[in-house]
Structure 1
Amino acid sequence: MVKAYIHDNDNSVDARETHDAGVPVTLERLEKLGVIYRYLKTQPEVEALAKERDYKNQDTVNIQVSTFGNDESLFQKKLAIFYEEHLHEDEEIRYCLEGTGYFDIRDNHSGEWIRCKVDPGDLLIVPAGIYHRFALDTTNYIKALRLFKDEPKWEAINKSQRAEESSTRKAYLQSIV
């Protein structure tokens, strides 16, 4: 079961730390934001969900320093990119196979960050148009299955890049009224 809670917003502490403000968040609150969580034990369960939601493509991403040629500087730069507040024009679907990580979801109603810790078996569907970011935890490793409705798209629109003007963002905001 995913652990979700309010992020403490302490930017003086590494993003890979827990940042737990001590306020738990329910799955119902996540659902009101359009975020879907499932715990799936087996690959056939993942395939059934993919078929049900019409996900046609998938790949695997492995995030650890060795993925970047053991170049710690390059690894840290990539982590910083993942952690910048952004949105996507498509759903972001991640199924944790190994390791752990954090998806931070911006609650549009309160402005708070909700941190969701994903462990093996956790599947998170982040809707198109919602602000979010990703951080590894201190183990510096996650292997995740990425699912896509069509051809894999991985373009982030950073909040600083006028994401508020995106038609996807506007559609998302109308969907959660």
Structure 2
Amino acid sequence: MPPRTQTKPSNDRAATPRLRVREAFVAAFALACFTVATPGKSAVLAQVQPGEPTADVPLAEPSRPVAVEIAMRMEDGALVCRPDLARLPPGEELTLQLVNATDAAAAFAAPELFASGSVASTIDAQYDHDAAAFLVPADTTGQIVFSTGAAGTYAFACAPAGEEATAQGEFVVEE
């Protein structure tokens, strides 16, 4: 198991050799921003309660309440993130739990959500400036402690590390 580290993303945006990956995430967010929620989409209301992983992966910090959990796993050869719609309260510090149940590192990005509030800390989720995403090692549960900002709809995307986004979803911050 990799060592647990706590980091804060900085605002340093160095030139990136992986511009293609970053552009893919931006394109995924643009697409997800225009996606209309349909009755078949899954939704979860943010309720502070102990989180149980949806995969057989150890919890990063089992004593910290989890507001929402995103499970990243392979389905039919593609990375998926579930749920693809999560509702969050505005102006609260929450824990986002990222369960990577794959055999490779996965990237999770929600730049508008994190920019509207603030990221306080991470556990087992390292921010990668080149990819503009948080990387979660294989078979690991990472956590991001953050504060939500203003009400609105914020896109997120998941991808195998270093690849184009294969899964998209939305966080809805509502009062």
The two structures have a TM-score, normalised by structure 1, of 0.30
Decide which structure has the larger Cα Rg and report it: 1
The two structures have a TM-score, normalised by structure 2, of 0.30
